Structure 1
C-alpha cells in the first residue's frame, strides 16, 4: 500500500517577487547574476504565485524569504498579503532567529514556522520555542554531503555547522516534532530528492 503524503510547492521570494529557485539563491546568497536576465527569472508576486498553485489544487505551500535568510532585508508585507489572500496552509522560513522574528512570523497567519540557522547558533532558544509552540515549529536542517557524510549549513548555506547526526539526536531529545531536511545541492534542481539522506534522517 502506498503511504499518502503532502506536496508543498516551494515559493522563493526575493525583493518582493517569487523567482526561479536557483536564480533566487544566486541573487541573494552568491550575489552572482546577470541583471539583464532578472526579468526572465521572476514568476510573479507572492500573491500571484500562491494563487496559481491554489488554482492547480495545492492545499499547502512552503514560503522562503531569501532576503531574510541572507540578512539583506525581508519580504514580510508581501508574504503576509499573499497568505491573507489565499486559502492554502503555509509554512514560512527565512531569518527567524529570535523572539521578535518568531513573533512576526507567527503573526503572518501561517500554519507553521521553520527555524534553521538558530538551531546552530542558539539551541537553548530553539528548545524554549519548541516547548512553547510545539507543532507550529519545524526545524529546518539544510545539509551538504562532504566526503560521504552530511554536514549542516546555515545563514544561506554558507557556514559549516558540523555533522547532521549529533544535532538531529539532540533535537529529538528536546522534543522537536517536525523537521524539514534539505540537501542543498538538490534544492531547485528539478531532480529527485536525496532519498538516502531522508531515509537516514528517519532512523
Structure 2
C-alpha cells in the first residue's frame, strides 16, 4: 500500500490544520521544499501537495510548488483550488503526475467532464465528507449529497482514482473511522486513497486489510507516530 506524505502549504509554510480550520494551523516546516526533500529521503514514493491558500480563496503558492517540483525526483500530485481548466493546465505544467480536484467535481459537472477529457487518468477526485455529507470549498460548505451517491456519479464518468478524507477527523490523530472507509471501499472498486485522522501504523494495517490502495498521512508522520521508512 502506498503511503503519501501530505505537504499542505499555507502562506508559504508547511502546516497541518485541525479539522480543516485555517485558524488552527500548526507549522512544521518554514520551507515546502525542505519538507518535500525530507519525505523523499525518508523513502516516499509519491507526495501529496496542497495549496491551502488557493483552496480557501486567499491567494496561491504556485512559486513554492514550482520550487518543490524542481527539487524532487519522485512523482507528486497537487490539489487545492483547482477550479478551472487554466489552473489545471498550470498544475500539470509544473510537472505534477496528478491533479486533485474536489469542489469542481461536485459543483460543475460539465467542467469536470472537460477536465477529464484534458487530464484523463491524471485527474484525481477528492471526496471530502463529514458524517457522510460531502463538503467542498476548503471543507467550508456542505453539499447535501451523500458519499455513495457521488461515487456512483463518478463511476459513470469513468473516474479512475478517488481520495476519500473524513474531514471531521483530519489532523486530530483520533484514528480512522474504519466503517466509513469500508463503505467507500465497497462503493468504489477502482483506485482508492484514504485519509483523515490516521494516527498509527495500526491504521495503515487496517486500511491495507480493507484493500485500500493508498493512505494520505499528515500529522502522524510529522509527529513521528509513523515511520515512513517502513512503508515507503
SS in 2 for 1:64: strand
The structure that is strand-richer by fraction is: 2
Q: Give the count of matched residue pairs.
A: 185
In 2, Cα distance between equivalents of 1:14 and 1:94: 11
Supply the distance in 2 between the matched residues of 1:52 and 1:199 (Cα, whole angstroms): 32
Aligned to 1:20: 16
CA contact (8 A) 2:12 2:30 kept: no
Distance in 1 separating the partners of 2:165 and 2:96: 21
1:80 aligns with 2:62: no
Find runs of 4+ consecutive structure 1 residues off by over 6 angstroms.
Answer: none
Secondary structure of the corresponding residue to residue 134 of structure 1: helix
Map Cα deviations across residues 101-145 of structure 1 (whole Å, 9 max, x no partner).
Answer: 111111111110000000121011112222332210010010000
When normalised by structure 2's length, the TM-score is 0.75
Q: Secondary structure at the match of 2:55?
A: helix
Give the TM-score normalised by structure 1: 0.85
Query: What pairs up with 1:133-148 in 2 under 5 angstroms?
Result: 133-145=119-131
1:118 and 2:114 are equivalent in the alignment: no
Partner of 2:2: 6
Measured on the aligned residues, the alpha-carbon RMSD in Å equals 1.7
Task: Structure 2: state its 5+ residue gaps.
Answer: 187-232
